[in-house]
Structures are given as structure tokens and as C-alpha cells.
């Protein structure tokens, strides 16, 4: 006669191996998901650090075009900034001017109009802000949000050209269109100075 105990051990071993295999698959998927999500945020943080370094490297009255490398998921992020005197800045800016790289709304929420406070909330929830104590004004120009007075630069999956100018205690960030070949001319330093003085 066959021992029922031996049959149960074989089935029990198969069941145990199946459970271990399923747990391993779940662990691998979870680790890959965690790596993907964290790497996107880490790359956004690196972008904020790069912009901070480029602004700090500029001397008085200088401007330059800097390349910002895109990353996987960078289309979900934008660059914006607040001046020292602006209300509604993210808490991370304290009482100073700041530039932030923030995660934008996606899906159905992206289709709704949001106000200035919502932009600050986006940057507080999923954003990396860099403070500039020596700047009175931060001006970011490319796209103006519908219904709000917040301008921002959308990050791209490839290389993005950003023109950064420092005039007095004013900092300006804008897309550099001359490298894109679309026929538009990047404003001269004098034109940027005049635009900043009207802020």
C-alpha cells in the first residue's frame, strides 16, 4: 500500500515552492516599481540642483544657455519660481525667492484649471525647491497657466535648453528658442533687463 503521508509531502512541497515563487515575483515587481518611482524623483531633484548650481555660477549681469538633460518621466515635471514678494509661495521657500522643479497633475486632474495656491501645493507635495536669498525676483517664462498667474517650463524627455540671466537681484529663466531652430530669437540681455524691471 502507498503511504498517504508521502503523497501529502510531495503536494505540500509543490505548494510551498509555488508560494515562494509567487512571493519572489511580487518582491521583484515591487523592487522594480520602487526603483522606477524613486529614480524619477531623484532625477527631478538632480535637475533642481543643476539649476541652482547654474544660477549660482552666473555673475552680475551675466546670462547663458544651459542644457538640462531629460530623464524617464521628465514630461511629468515642470520648473517654476516665486519672487520674494509673491504671496502663495510653497512653504519650502520660506521668505525668500525660489526656483522649484515640481510634478505636474496628470490624467483628468490635469484638464482642470488650477490657481496659484494649487501650484504651490503641487510643489509642496511633490517638488524640489531651491532658495535664492540674494535674489529679489525670480521670473520663469515659457507657458502661462490658464486661469493662474504662474509661468512654468515643462521638462522634456530629451535635452532642454534653458536661458538663465542674472541682472542685479533679479533672475530670469526661459526656454532658449535659438537652439531649437524655430526662427524665434532669444531676448537680448537688455530686453530681459527691461522685462525684469517691469515685474
Domain ranges for the chain, please list them: 36-197
Contact between 139 and 196 under an 8 Å Cβ cutoff? The reply is: yes
* pLDDT computed for residue 32 by the predictor: 78
Average pLDDT, the chain: 79
pTM value is 0.68
Sign of CA dihedral 142, 145, 151, 155: negative
User: End-to-end alpha-carbon separation of the chain, Å?
Assistant: 94
* pLDDT computed for residue 131 by the predictor: 94
Q: For the residues 32-56, what does the mean pLDDT come to?
A: 86
CA dihedral 193, 132, 136, 98 (to 10 degrees): 90
- What confidence tens digit (pLDDT) does each residue in 68-121 have? 988 888 888 989 999 998 888 888 888 899 999 999 877 655 545 566 677 788
* 52 has a pLDDT exceeding 90: yes
* pLDDT computed for residue 154 by the predictor: 87
- What confidence tens digit (pLDDT) does each residue in 116-164 have? 677 788 888 889 999 999 899 999 987 655 555 678 888 888 888 999 9
Amino acid at each position: 500500500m502507498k503511504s498517504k503521508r508521502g503523497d501529502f509531502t510531495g503536494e505540500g512541497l509543490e505548494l510551498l515552492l509555488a508560494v515562494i515563487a509567487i512571493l519572489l515575483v511580487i518582491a521583484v515587481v515591487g523592487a522594480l516599481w520602487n526603483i522606477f518611482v524613486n529614480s524619477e524623483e531623484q532625477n527631478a531633484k538632480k535637475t533642481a540642483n543643476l539649476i541652482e548650481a547654474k544660477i549660482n555660477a552666473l555673475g552680475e549681469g551675466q546670462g547663458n544657455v544651459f542644457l538640462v538633460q531629460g530623464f524617464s518621466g521628465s514630461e511629468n515635471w515642470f520648473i517654476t519660481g516665486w519672487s520674494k514678494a509673491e504671496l502663495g509661495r510653497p512653504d519650502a521657500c520660506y521668505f525668500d525667492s525660489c526656483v522649484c522643479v515640481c510634478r505636474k497633475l496628470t490624467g483628468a486632474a490635469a484638464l482642470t484649471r488650477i490657481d496659484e495656491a494649487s501650484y504651490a501645493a503641487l510643489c509642496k507635495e511633490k517638488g524640489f525647491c531651491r532658495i535664492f536669498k540674494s535674489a529679489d525676483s525670480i521670473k520663469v517664462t515659457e507657458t502661462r497657466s490658464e486661469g493662474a498667474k504662474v509661468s512654468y517650463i515643462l521638462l522634456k524627455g530629451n535635452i532642454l535648453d534653458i536661458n538663465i540671466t542674472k541682472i542685479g537681484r533679479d533672475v530670469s529663466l526661459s526656454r532658449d528658442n535659438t537652439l531649437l531652430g524655430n526662427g524665434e530669437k532669444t531676448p537680448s540681455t537688455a530686453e530681459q533687463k527691461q522685462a525684469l524691471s517691469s515685474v
